[in-house]
Structure 1
Amino acid sequence: MDSNNRPSILFVCLGNICRSPTAEGVFRHKALQSGIELTIDSAGTSGYRDGTPPDKRSQGVASSRGYDLSTLKCRKIGDQDYEQFDLIVAMDHDNVRALKRKCPEEHQHKISLFLSHCDSEFDEVPDPYYAGLKGFELVLDLIEEASEGLLLKMAR
């Protein structure tokens, strides 16, 4: 839990420029609509885009469905995040492995794969960076689906 005693969740992908900021924006929007108070953030396992806004394509696709990502900034996950957040939710298996390599043993249980929180034909959220707009649409579809599943689990 964060310092406000609210459950906290961190979404993680490779660069924190497409998938994880989209998950942060969608999840924040859905949590607000559901009346669930959470601390929500996102980060990347690499830090090569620190301080920059999410990819314009992610922002555009999200905006077309009513989600605002414009205030988000990319950042690399830090050692303090493993302790600070209750849940650390990765977009794909590579990011789960990268997180587990750096995560202290006592916090390993916090790490999960995002799509494990819903019934999906996919097991991970694919990186849309080179996939064109259809890839970004698919990512948003999957994130919306997984967000609903995770919110249901958190509301119990």
Structure 2
Amino acid sequence: MKKIGILFVCMGNICRSPTAEGVFRALLTQRRLSDLFEVDSAGTHAYHVGDAPDLRAQKAARDRGIELKHLRARKVAAADFEKFDVILAMDSDNFSILQDICPETHKDKIKYLLDFAPQLNQREVPDPYYGGAYGFERVLDMAEAAAEGLLEFLTREGVLSKQAG
């Protein structure tokens, strides 16, 4: 059985995308759906390849019971467009870069993370890197809302029932 592949993408893969990955993994664990998914995160730039998530992101996540320290930054690879079913960009810069490097046949996989949290009335997850602790909390709030919305979308579209059946 092929797992449902979800890839979260930001610029350096040390703040937003690993946070979203951790939040989504935690939700899948809570709902006992982990076996149906392959979840990862990556960056559009290679600034931090091999690094653990930002310590502030780790702390904010840990305070909510989500562990990120085992994750390591990597750059988006050409194979990701084939491997993953949904590729979620954190902002318009990353969305544009993904669109530019993605083969035409897979462009429909690229979406904004916050498209799955319409109640937030925004499309971009702000980069908390140069700010304070509040920014990391805000990213977690957004990731939690979007993770729920993504799971609801996959259920509504019948993707989960195909995997479970």
Q: TM-score range by the shorter chain?
A: over 0.9
One-letter identity of the residue aligned with 2:107: Q
Tell me, in whole angstroms, the C-alpha distance in 1 between the residues paired with 2:87 and 2:73. 16
* 1:54 partnered with 2:53: yes
Paired position in structure 1 for 2:76: 77
Deviations 1:94-118 (A, max 9, x none): 1000000000000000000000012
Paired position in structure 1 for 2:5: 8
Size of the aligned set, in residue pairs, is 153
One-letter identity of the residue aligned with 1:146: A
Deviations 1:27-49 (A, max 9, x none): 01101111222100000000111
Paired position in structure 1 for 2:160: none
One-letter identity of the residue aligned with 1:49: H
Q: Which runs of 5+ in 1 are unaligned?
A: none
Tell me, in whole angstroms, the C-alpha distance in 2 between the residues paired with 1:39 and 1:49. 22
Question: Tell me, what secondary structure is at the counterpart of 2:105?
Answer: helix
* 1:20 partnered with 2:44: no
Paired position in structure 2 for 1:90: 89
Question: Tell me, what secondary structure is at the counterpart of 1:53?
Answer: coil
Post-superposition, which runs of at least 4 consecutive aligned residues in structure 1 deviate over 2 A?
none
Identity of aligned residues (%): 50
* 1:138 partnered with 2:135: no
Tell me, in whole angstroms, the C-alpha distance in 1 between the residues paired with 2:152 and 2:108. 19
Tell me, in whole angstroms, the C-alpha distance in 2 between the residues paired with 1:121 and 1:101. 26
Tell me, in whole angstroms, the C-alpha distance in 2 between the residues paired with 1:56 and 1:84. 29
Per the TM alignment, residue 10 of structure 1 is displaced from its structure 2 partner at its CA by 0.3
Question: Tell me, what secondary structure is at the counterpart of 1:140?
Answer: helix
Question: Tell me, what secondary structure is at the counterpart of 2:81?
Answer: helix
One-letter identity of the residue aligned with 1:25: G
Per the TM alignment, residue 122 of structure 1 is displaced from its structure 2 partner at its CA by 2.3
Note the 1:98-137 alignment, pairs <5 A: 98-119=97-118, 120-137=120-137
Tell me, in whole angstroms, the C-alpha distance in 2 between the residues paired with 1:154 and 1:64. 28
